[in-house]
Amino acid sequence: MAEAEAVSRAIKIASFAGAPLYIVHLSCKESLIELVRAREQRLPVMAETCPQYLLLSEEKYEEPNFMGAKYVMSPPLRPKENLNSLWDGLAKGEIQAVSTDHCPFFLKGQKDLGLEFFGKIPNGAPGIETRMSLMYSYGANMGKLSLQRFVEVTATNPAKIFGLYPSKGTIAVGSDADIVIFDPNVKKVITKSKLHENVDYTAYEGFEVTGYPVITILRGNIIVENGNFIGEKGFGKFLKRQAPILV
């Protein structure tokens, strides 16, 4: 209820100001209802959800031995009945993007600061490395999203919304030749020991995925191949963003 009310209030304020609005971390069907209502009124409102709100639910907080602290994030994980609503919203174009910040707080030494008091648990979870494989495996590969929609919500739409299109978010003459090559037949079990994130856990431990990135190309140069970074240090480039394209 609190999230839906906050989304509704933000939409009203943005409408009064004549400004576009991008809602981060939409996690429940009540908020989705507010988003859909605003877009039906042709207000420039857009939203993202995150892999954790598509794949995890509040039972995770019941893990014993303080393991529930791994999932302390904002908003918190929701009841299971929200999962299908969010997948459906993605497929229908009601939700515009799937993104996530990356908060690699260690369970030992950081999250456990809250052993005696919940309020001291650092807020957030790691997730940047697993995002694309999870969305492909549990979205496109399972028929919840078309391949085109998978690309839209993970690449094209974020590039448009954040003013990086068409340099990013498309394969075209004059664009930056940023390409991720997926092998749809690769099967893996996600486990912390196989990831490159500098943290001692993953929220997706034990998740089985089908389809995994095997090559990452940045501006026409291969920088990752079969899980190994082979790029050049310092090859990154500052990107000056333009005005957003509403989607």
Give the pLDDT of residue 104: 95
The residue extents of the domains of the chain are 2-168
Q: Is the pLDDT of residue 123 over 90?
A: yes
216 close to 203: Cβ distance less than 8 angstroms: no
pLDDT at 60: 98
Q: What is the mean pLDDT of residues 37-57?
A: 98
pLDDT of residue 170: 96
Residue 123 and residue 197: Cα distance in Å, rounded? 17
For the chain, percent helix, then strand, then coil, each to nearest 5?
35, 15, 50
β-strand 21-23 against 45-49: which pairing, if any? parallel
Q: What is the model's pLDDT at position 101?
A: 85
What are φ and ψ of residue 88, in 5° steps? -65, -40
The bridge status of strand 179-189 relative to strand 97-98 is unpaired
Q: How is residue 40 written in tokens? A: 């039906």
Q: Is the pLDDT of residue 76 over 90?
A: yes
Residue 211: pLDDT over 90: yes
Indicate the helix (H) or strand (E) that contains 6: helix 2-17
Residues, the chain: 247
Architecture of domain 2-168: Alpha-Beta Barrel (3.20)
